[in-house]
């Protein structure tokens, strides 16, 4: 799920997210587009799409970094490509991890670092 630094601060303060939400996931479209790939390739494609979306969501005042939350969602409706609509709220316990740039102004091809849920407040 793509977020910005201000969105991440809101998630940490509220201890979750309120639906509906836009996210990226391994969908049939991703599997078809990467038919020769495996689950790691599909998950990486969804992560990369979410990172691009995070970059596009950034507004004045947000840190120039990409943030992506890995979440377990109860109700999801497929969209185009890797995009999905999350129809259920996401509790803090349903956030598995965060992926984020470790420096400001990171290039689009930089790898995102992985952070456990309990480390999310430290990212702020």
Model pLDDT for residues 92-109, shown as the tens digit of each residue: 999 999 999 998 876 766
Question: Given a cut of 70, is residue 55 above it in pLDDT?
Answer: yes
Q: Which two tokens stand for residue 58?
A: 């950034």
pLDDT at 37: 96
pLDDT at 106: 61
Question: Given a cut of 80, is residue 76 above it in pLDDT?
Answer: yes
Residue with tokens 């793509």: 2
Residue closest to 51 by CA, chosen among 103, 108, 10: 108
- Residues 6 or more apart whose CB falls under 8 angstroms from that of 82 comprise 24, 25, 26, 27, 29, 30, 45, 46, 49, 50
Residues 3-47: pLDDT tens digits?
A: 999 999 999 999 999 999 999 999 999 999 999 999 999 999 999
């Amino acid at each position: 799920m793509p977020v910005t630094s201000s969105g991440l601060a809101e998630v940490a303060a509220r201890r979750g997210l309120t639906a509906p939400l836009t996210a990226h996931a391994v969908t049939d479209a991703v599997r078809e587009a990467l038919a020769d790939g495996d689950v790691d390739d599909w998950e990486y494609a969804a992560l990369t799409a979410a990172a691009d979306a995070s970059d596009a969501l950034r507004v004045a005042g947000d840190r120039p970094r990409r943030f992506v939350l890995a979440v377990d969602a109860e109700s999801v409706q497929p969209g185009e490509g890797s995009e999905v609509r999350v129809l259920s709220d996401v509790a803090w316990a349903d956030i598995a991890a965060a992926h984020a740039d470790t420096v400001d102004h990171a290039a689009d091809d930089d790898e995102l670092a992985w952070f456990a849920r309990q480390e999310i407040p430290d990212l702020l």
